[in-house]
Amino acid sequence: MSLIRSTATIGIYTLMSRVLGFVRDITIASGLGASHLSDAFFVAFKLPNYLRRLFAEGAFNSAFVPMYAGMMSSEGKDKARQFSSEAMSFLTLILLIVTGLFIIFMPWIMQVLAFGFVKDPVKFTLAVTLTRITMPYILFISLVSLLGGVLNSVHKFAAAAAAPIIMNLCLIIIPFYIDPFTPTGAHSLAIAVMMSGIAQWLWMVWFCYKEGLLPKFLRPRLTADVKKLLVLIAPVALGAGVAQINLFIDTIIATYFDSGVSYLYYADRINELPLAVIGIAVGTALLPMLTRQLREGKLEEARQSQNRAIALALFLSLPSAAALMMIAEPVIAAMFQRGAFGAVETAATYKALMAFAFGLPAFILIKILSPSFFANQDTKTPFKIALVCIVVNLVLNLILMMPLKHVGMALATSIAGWLNVALMVVVLLRRDWMAIEANLIRQVLKIVAACAMMVAVLYVMQPHALLLMKEADELLRFSLLLTLVSTGMFVYFLISFILNAMNIRDTTKRWLRRKSL
Q: What is the pLDDT along the chain (517 residues), one digit of tens a residue?
A: 455 666 666 667 777 877 787 778 777 776 676 667 878 888 888 777 766 665 555 556 667 777 887 787 777 788 888 988 998 899 899 889 988 998 999 998 888 777 677 777 888 888 899 999 999 998 898 888 888 888 877 777 778 778 888 988 998 899 888 988 888 888 999 999 999 999 999 999 999 998 888 898 888 888 888 888 877 776 665 555 555 566 666 667 777 777 777 788 788 878 877 766 666 666 666 666 666 676 666 777 777 777 888 888 888 889 999 999 999 999 888 888 777 677 888 888 899 999 999 998 998 888 778 777 877 777 778 878 888 888 898 899 889 888 888 888 889 989 999 999 999 999 989 988 888 888 888 989 999 999 999 999 999 999 988 888 877 777 888 889 899 999 999 999 999 988 887 776 655 555 445 544 4
d(CA 269, CA 276): 10
Residue 29: other Cβ atoms inside 10 A: 25
At 341 the three-state DSSP class reads strand
What's residue 73's pLDDT? 72
What's residue 51's pLDDT? 66
Residue 254 CA, chain-centre distance (Å), reads 20
What's residue 427's pLDDT? 92
Burial environment of residue 510 by CB neighbours within 10 A (0 to 12, 13 to 18, 19 or more): exposed
d(CA 344, CA 361): 28
What radius of gyration, in Å, describes the C-alpha atoms of the chain? 23
DSSP 55-116: IIIIIIHHHHHHHHHHHHHHT-HHHHHHHHHHHHHHHHHHHHHHHHHHHHTHHHHHHHHTGG
State the angle between helix axes of 281-295 and 61-74 in degrees (0 to 180), rounded to the nearest 10: 40
In the chain, domain spans? 3-436, 453-517
**What are the residues whose beta carbons fall under 8 Å from the beta carbon of 482, sequence distance 6 or more?**
none
d(CA 355, CA 409): 9
The one-character DSSP state at 34 is S
pTM of the model: 0.68
Burial environment of residue 69 by CB neighbours within 10 A (0 to 12, 13 to 18, 19 or more): buried
d(CA 34, CA 261): 9
State the angle between helix axes of 61-74 and 224-239 in degrees (0 to 180), rounded to the nearest 10: 140
* Sign of the torsion formed by the C-alpha atoms of 486, 487, 492 and 497: positive
At 40 the three-state DSSP class reads helix
Residue 432: other Cβ atoms inside 10 A: 9
Residue type, 83: F
